[in-house]
Structure 1
Amino acid sequence: MQHLDLLIEPYQFGFFVHTGLVEDDPERPESVSPELWEILRAAAAASAAWVLFDRDEPVTSGLPVF
C-alpha cells in the first residue's frame, strides 16, 4: 500500500502499520487521521514497532474502531 507518511505492509487478512512516524514526528501529519494517530501513539508507547489491523481479531478496548 502506498502512503506518503506511513509504512504499510498488507497481508492476507489485513495489514501492518509501522509506528516509526510517531517516534520521528511528535506532530500528527494531516495525511493521518486523529484516530489512527491515537492507535499508533498507543502502540509506540507500548514499545511496539508495528500495529496489526486484522479483520478477524477482536476489538481492543480503549482504541478507535474503523
Structure 2
Amino acid sequence: TKGLSTFCTFIGSFPTMSSLMLRKIGTAMESLPTLLTFIRFLTSMNFLMTKKTFLLPKAFSTF
C-alpha cells in the first residue's frame, strides 16, 4: 500500500506541479526576448572570437 499512497500523493501534487510548470513556461515566454538578445550577443561574441583565433595563427606565423 506504500507504493499506492506514494502514487496518490503524486497524483494529488500533479495539478500544483503542472500549474507551477505553466507559470514557469509563462515566465520563460516573457523572458524569451531577453534570452534571444542574449543568444544573439553570444553568437556575435563567438563570431568575433573565431575571427580572432583565425587571425592569431597568422600573427604568430609572422614571428
Q: TM-score range by the shorter chain?
A: under 0.3
TM-score under structure 1 normalisation? 0.24
Relative contact order, higher structure (CA 8 A, sep 6+): 1
Q: Which has the higher helix share?
A: 2
Find the structure with the greater CA-based Rg.
2
Q: Provide the TM-score with structure 2 as the length reference.
A: 0.25
